[in-house]
Chains A and B, each alone.
Chain A
Amino acid sequence: QQPVQSPQAVILREGEDAVINCSSSKALYSVHWYRQKHGEAPVFLMILLKGGEQKGHEKISASFNEKKQQSSLYLTASQLSYSGTYFCGTANNAGNMLTFGGGTRLMVKP
């Protein structure tokens, strides 16, 4: 079953923060975050494997609440290059067959 992402779209001014949520109705083994630019393939951002895990990549970080079956992606002090569609992909076992959420369109304006 497809995880649910929220919000569906967000518009930011450069320097503002955003949070993207990903919720699943099933127990999760891992959560994967990707960013896709128009006309391109998704680019891997990070993977969270353990409940309670938090990861950071420059000003982009994520957390994984295993009990709540959800993950959140945090974008801090957004840059123009952050624009794109963010997808979470979830796996409920180690086989890594990912099911993707509907995506969150992020637009960062100057």
Chain B
Amino acid sequence: GAVVSQHPSRVICKSGTSVKIECRSLDFQATTMFWYRQFPKQSLMLMATSNEGSKATYEQGVEKDKFLINHASLTLSTLTVTSAHPEDSSFYICSATVTDTQYFGPGTRLTVL
């Protein structure tokens, strides 16, 4: 299957700082990538759809000014959590689609102190 990577895998930051998470498609080009957030023992919740060369589409209730998404190339999408707070601590996962199948990156565990 297709390979999607994420970096970093874990990050711990202080409250008020910003954190950038990268999502890369390694062996294919992705015009669309998806960003999910997962809290412990809960399901994956779609945050936004990242579109190469255009603005991301955010789901209802997701603050676009807080979760900045940039999809600058066909293989890279970034999610920046700005002014992070402890309640932003979560598991962030990106995915990309290849012929109807959605492949997930390994995830980034964010802990905000």
Contact = CB atoms under 8 A, between A and B. Distances in A.
B106 A100 contact: no
B103 interface: yes
Q: Interface SS of chain A: helix, strand, loop or mixed? A: loop
B43 A87 contact: yes
Contacts of A103: 42-43
From DSSP, what is the main secondary structure of chain B's interface residues? strand
A24 interface: no
Interface string A91-106: 0001011111111000
B49 interface: yes
B105 A97 contact: no
Interface stretch (B11-19, B66-74, B79-87, B93-101): B93-101
Interface of B: 1, 32, 34, 42-46, 49, 93, 97, 100-107, 109
Interface of A: 2, 30, 32, 34, 39-44, 47, 49, 87, 89, 94, 96-103
